[in-house]
Amino acid sequence: MKNKTSIQGTWASRWIFILAATGSAVGLGNIWKFPYITGENGGGAFVLVYLICIALVGLPIMMAEVFIGRRARKNPINALEDLAEESGQSKKWGIIGLMGMLAGIFIFSFYSVVAGWVLHYIKAMASGELANVSSEQAGALFNELLADPVTLLGWHTLFTIMVLAVVIAGVNKGLERATRIMMPALFFLLIALLGYAISTPGFSQGWDFMFHFDVSELSWDAVLVALGHSFFTLSLGMGTIMAYGSYMPKKASIGSTVLMVGALDTLVALVAGLAIFPIIFSNGMNPGAGPGLMFISLPVAFGQMAFGQFFGVLFFVLVGVAAWTSAISLLEPSVAFLVERFKLKRSTASIGLAILVWLLGIACLGSFNFMSDVTFFGKNTFDALDYLTTNIMLPLGGILIAIFAGWFVKDQFVKDEVQTSNIIHTCWKISVCVISPIAVSIVLLLNL
């Protein structure tokens, strides 16, 4: 058991694990979704609930996922089964991993469509097509893009191929190499953009909007959104972090590593908000504009600022890079599963999955045009898959993982693998055994 490693490979160091896990966590969730749901849910109070969810529920569940993955050194499904067996429990716990695979495939299908919008905007920004647009024109251009399935399909296809190219190359030659290059670039770009936002007149208004905590503005619905998002943004509840954990070097401490990843992810979301809202307010635009917030408001803002075209391209490249390193992690657990369980070649598994998510993605991009009248519970395919995964499957997967790790796995296994102080172990135990299951169940039930 001592020197077990995953057959997929092992990260070169603890830092690579931190960068890779942060690369997975930081994505469209932080830069596209977090600002727009914060805008829709009124700002500060929502941010506060989100931070509480990250600290009390997200980080402990992330520790549980890393622990399970690293102890078993296998893909999420086999890892759950092995650990259940070792603890004298039913192998049926592996079903959480299967549900996670499905969630990953669903998320990828709409994620790739939004990433495709981002790629389109890199091109539109760089070509000067968006120079000096008014908000009406920017809205019209966004809607024009949504109405054009062929263009959407082109970008969605390109993005899927970009992700496939990395996943197919494997953990060390693909994921690790991509991480080493892209993560530092991402931090650099974000800091440059924040510097710009600080210099705009709307900065203090943007700051107030995000950190003015007025709990009376909060609805149960907003709490569900905040909770679901805390799973989404940390890549929890579907096995991504378990798979990445299975490639983690033995020496690295799980507690401090997870804390680092959570802190970096939160920091990027807050910085993204602080970069976006001042630009919105400086230009007198509406923070509650929804999913189009980034794509409609920002081009207008960039059009009005000095060096706007340069910063605009920079910004969308940044978002594209973040989306890329995240999307990789949506496929990795399933690829590892297919390779380990069915002895498929990595290339066969990756290509097969890529084709599957690509096809499902077509239904998502069709939601805005040729398939707009196909609905599930009143939502188009795109919205339905987003809702189903973020608000139901991830929280459900997350609490099942928490309950499994807290109540069913032998405590000694956790102590051996995680090796933290008794105080941290006790806090972790309270969260996964009690706080997370109760809090998540209440929120899920209240919203049914």
Say if strands 375-376 and 379-380 run parallel, antiparallel, or are unpaired: antiparallel
Two structure tokens written together for 441: 């169940």
Tell me, rounded to whole angstroms, the distance of Cα 338 from its chain centroid. 22
User: Residue 176: which of 330, 318, 12, 319 has the closest Cα?
Assistant: 12
Minimum separation from the CB atom of position 238 to ligand TRP (A): 4
- Going by the DSSP 8-state scheme, the letter that residue 265 receives in this structure is H
- Per rule CB under 6 A, is residue 395 in the interface with ligand TRP? no
Q: What is the DSSP string of 171-182?
A: IIIIIIHHHHHH
Which residue, 27 or 94, has its beta carbon nearer to ligand TRP?
A: 27
Q: Show the site string, 249-288: x = touches ligand TRP by CB under 6 A, - = not.
A: ----------------------------------------
Stretch that binds ligand TRP, among 50-58, 211-219, 326-334, 417-425 (CB under 6 A): 326-334
Minimum separation from the CB atom of position 55 to ligand TRP (A): 17
Q: Counting beta carbons within 10 angstroms of the beta carbon of residue 153, is it exposed (0 to 12), middle (13 to 18) or buried (19 or more)?
A: middle
CB atoms within 10 A of CB 396: 18
CB < 8 Å & 24+ apart, contacts of 279-286: 279/197, 279/200, 279/202, 279/206, 279/305, 280/39, 280/202, 280/206, 281/202, 281/205, 281/206, 281/209, 282/200, 282/201, 282/202, 282/203, 283/202, 285/135, 286/39
- Per rule CB under 6 A, is residue 238 in the interface with ligand TRP? yes
Which residue, 233 or 381, has its beta carbon nearer to ligand TRP?
A: 233
Which residue, 102 or 371, has its beta carbon nearer to ligand TRP?
A: 102
69 close to 241: Cβ distance less than 8 angstroms: yes
427 close to 97: Cβ distance less than 8 angstroms: no
Which residue, 367 or 389, has its beta carbon nearer to ligand TRP?
A: 389
Which residue, 159 or 281, has its beta carbon nearer to ligand TRP?
A: 159
- Per rule CB under 6 A, is residue 107 in the interface with ligand TRP? yes
| Total of residues contacting ligand TRP (CB under 6 A) | 16
Which listed residue (179, 282, 283, 329) binds ligand TRP by CB under 6 A?
A: 329
Minimum separation from the CB atom of position 152 to ligand TRP (A): 19
Which residue, 171 or 238, has its beta carbon nearer to ligand TRP?
A: 238
Minimum separation from the CB atom of position 419 to ligand TRP (A): 26
- Per rule CB under 6 A, is residue 240 in the interface with ligand TRP? yes
Which listed residue (41, 233, 283, 436) binds ligand TRP by CB under 6 A?
A: 233
The one-letter amino acid at 237: G
Which residue, 235 or 350, has its beta carbon nearer to ligand TRP?
A: 235
Q: Show the site string, 121-160: x = touches ligand TRP by CB under 6 A, - = not.
A: ----------------------------------------
Minimum separation from the CB atom of position 422 to ligand TRP (A): 31
Which residue, 28 or 182, has its beta carbon nearer to ligand TRP?
A: 28
- Per rule CB under 6 A, is residue 330 in the interface with ligand TRP? yes
Q: What is the DSSP string of 107-119?
A: HHHHHHHHHHHHH
CA angle 291, 294, 300 (to 5 degrees): 130
**What is the Cα–Cα distance from 10 to 5, expressed in whole angstroms?**
7
Two structure tokens written together for 369: 């045009």
Q: Show the site string, 7-46: x = touches ligand TRP by CB under 6 A, - = not.
A: -----------------xx-xxxx----------------
Which listed residue (38, 41, 235, 246) binds ligand TRP by CB under 6 A?
A: 235
Residues that bind ligand TRP (CB under 6 A): 24-25, 27-30, 107, 232-233, 235, 238, 240, 326, 329-330, 394
